[in-house]
Structure 1
Amino acid sequence: MSFVTSLSGLKAAQTDLSVISNNIANSNSNGFKRSRAIFGDVFAASPTQTTSKLTGQGVRLNTVSQQFTQGTLQTTDRTLDLAIAGDGFFTVRSDSADAETTFTRNGAFSVNTDREVVDTLGNRVQLLPTDGAGNVTGTTSADLINFVLPEADPADPAALLANISIGNDGIITATFTNGNQQELGALALAGFAATEGLRPVGDAQWQSTGDSGEPTFNRAGEGALGSVRSGSLETANIDITEELVSLISAQRNFQANAQAIETANTLTQTIINLQI
């Protein structure tokens, strides 16, 4: 029994090491959220047994919990580098046939040849429509529109796009060479009832699940959603010192369980030799 108990501890320590190693490896990944392995003890007894005379049977992995705490905002002075100060996710859609929607905290956006604003994977950033006063006119999935930069002023084709500005409320305004301005919409930020239930799909992107609940869309600053910071990126919420301390602890646990297995093996071999 001690061999099986120590083996479960060895596997648990190995899982802990894997989770911590992944955190450290992604310390430079924008928008990355660290994970933490959560374990529980294993105990079994029949109704006729006295539990005061029984020992546990090891440990098991309950879950790998994602930690959606705020990462540090790093200034870049680039307009399309965006970060969220607070809760919420940017909404992006792939250009595939199914137009899959994912959510990200990595706001390193750029413009493609079709003048669409896209993320590092080429997914198109989504906006919510607004009226002239900056009020969002639709907050459902069907209302989402692609973030596309106009080439010229719709009222004056000779006036080209000069620059764009993105406010803390996520409202995007285009300014043209003739001085006219056009409101393009508001960044579609998504919130979830249970953020920890999101499914990670890599590259600091997540999908909604039954555990997370359906996304609710709105502009920045509405409800529990945070504000948008243009010219900044959110770094990984990794504290290297904390991760290294956790790594040392996990390593000690691994070594202790390996030593327990070796001890159990030695005792078993001694008993076999006595019988011979």
Structure 2
Amino acid sequence: MSYYTSLTGLKNAQTELNVISHNIANAETNGFKKSDTQFADIVSSSVVTDPALTVGIGSRVAEIKQNFSVGALEQTGNSLDLAIGGEGFFTIVSPNSGQTEFTRNGSFSVDGSGYIKNAEGSRLQVFPMTNGVVDASSHQDALAAPTNAAGSTLASVTVDQEGQVVASYDDGTNTTVGVVALANFVAPNGLKQTGDSSWKVTGKSGAASYGAPGSGAFGAINSGTLERSNVDIAEELVDLISAQRYFQANAKAIDTATQISQTVINLRN
């Protein structure tokens, strides 16, 4: 039994090492959220088992929990580098699959068609505005037309703290594209990681609730700023040493069990 008990410890240590390695590998990934491994013990007993004599049979991975604390903010000077100063996720939609995802990585740019997109080509979503009133009941692609009605060329796109996206043209006119659509969740730890610092909704996370930046619990938008990874390298290195010792201790327990078994076999011989 001791072999299998220690084997569960080895497997858990390997999982923890994988999680820590993933955190360290993404220490420079914008908007990345680190994960922590949580374990639970395994106990096998029945209604007739004396609780005073119950022996555990190992451990298991209970949860790989994401930490959504806000990372450090870094100024870049690029007007379409956006960071959320508090709660919320940017809403993005892939033009190919049409799937909606959510991210804290606010590195955006304008493509040749005027769409505001991230590095993977997913388009930033905004709330439309009607007569200066934000319609938060639906969201759409953020599109800054390359030319306006007068034929003037797009000069720049800016975003203020309230998330209002404004396209400026070389004839001096401005057009409001919309207001950045932020989303939040009852249980963000239930979101499914999809890579590229993005997440999808699951049954555990609950449906997304939308709102404008600076309203309710949603944070304001910091333009010209990016949110860095929330990975603390010093903390991860300490956890790495602890996981290594955990692995070595379980391996030693297996080695000890092997020696005891060998001793018993030699006595019988």
From 133, 136, 148, the counterpart of 2:134: 136
Please state how far the C-alpha of 1:177 moved relative to its aligned partner.
2.9
Q: Please state if 1:149 is matched with 2:144.
A: yes
Alignment of 1:77-92 (within 5 A): 77-92=77-92
Q: Which residue is 2:5 aligned to?
A: 5
Normalised TM-score (structure 2): 0.96
Please state how far the C-alpha of 1:179 moved relative to its aligned partner.
2.7
Q: Which residue is 2:58 aligned to?
A: 58
Alignment of 1:188-267 (within 5 A): 188-267=181-260
2: distance between equivalents of 1:71 and 1:54?
44
Q: After TM superposition, where is structure 1 displaced by more than 6 Å over at least 4 residues in a row? A: none
Measured against aligned partners, the alpha-carbon deviations of 1:186-235 in whole angstroms (never above 9, x if no partner) come to: 01111111100000000101000111111112211122111111111111
Alignment of 1:14-29 (within 5 A): 14-29=14-29
- For structure 2, the 5+ residue unaligned runs are none
What CA RMSD, in Å, does the superposition of the two structures yield over aligned residues? Answer: 1.3
Q: What is the DSSP-based 3-state SS (H/G/I as helix, E as strand, rest coil) of the residue aligned with 1:37?
A: strand
Please state how far the C-alpha of 1:174 moved relative to its aligned partner.
2.1
Please state how far the C-alpha of 1:90 moved relative to its aligned partner.
0.7
Code of the aligned partner of 1:221 = G
2: distance between equivalents of 1:263 and 1:84?
53
Code of the aligned partner of 1:275 = R
Code of the aligned partner of 1:48 = V
From 166, 172, 177, the counterpart of 1:184: 177
1: distance between equivalents of 2:102 and 2:155?
29
Measured against aligned partners, the alpha-carbon deviations of 1:215-262 in whole angstroms (never above 9, x if no partner) come to: 112211122111111111111000000000000000000000000000
Q: CA 1:174–1:115 in structure 2 vs 1: closer, same or farther (change >3 Å)?
A: closer
How many residues are aligned here?
A: 269
Alignment of 1:164-179 (within 5 A): 164-179=157-172
Normalised TM-score (structure 1): 0.94
Measured against aligned partners, the alpha-carbon deviations of 1:133-186 in whole angstroms (never above 9, x if no partner) come to: 3x31232xxx221111122333x32x3333222111111122233332221100
Measured against aligned partners, the alpha-carbon deviations of 1:97-140 in whole angstroms (never above 9, x if no partner) come to: x411111111111122212111110111111111343x31232x
Q: Which residue is 1:269 aligned to?
A: 262
Code of the aligned partner of 1:40 = A
Please state how far the C-alpha of 1:37 moved relative to its aligned partner.
0.6
Q: What is the DSSP-based 3-state SS (H/G/I as helix, E as strand, rest coil) of the residue aligned with 2:23?
A: helix
Q: Which residue is 2:119 aligned to?
A: 120
Code of the aligned partner of 1:229 = N
- For the 8 Å contact 1:136–1:218, the answer to whether it is kept is no
- For the 8 Å contact 1:6–1:261, the answer to whether it is kept is yes
2: distance between equivalents of 1:212 and 1:84?
20
2: distance between equivalents of 1:73 and 1:18?
27
Q: What is the DSSP-based 3-state SS (H/G/I as helix, E as strand, rest coil) of the residue aligned with 2:204?
A: coil
2: distance between equivalents of 1:179 and 1:72?
36
Q: What is the DSSP-based 3-state SS (H/G/I as helix, E as strand, rest coil) of the residue aligned with 1:183?
A: strand
- For the 8 Å contact 2:136–2:212, the answer to whether it is kept is no
Q: CA 1:175–1:112 in structure 2 vs 1: closer, same or farther (change >3 Å)?
A: closer
2: distance between equivalents of 1:99 and 1:274?
70
Code of the aligned partner of 1:61 = V
Code of the aligned partner of 2:107 = A
2: distance between equivalents of 1:162 and 1:100?
30
Q: Among the aligned pairs, what percent are the same residue? A: 43
- For the 8 Å contact 2:80–2:157, the answer to whether it is kept is no
- For structure 1, the 5+ residue unaligned runs are none
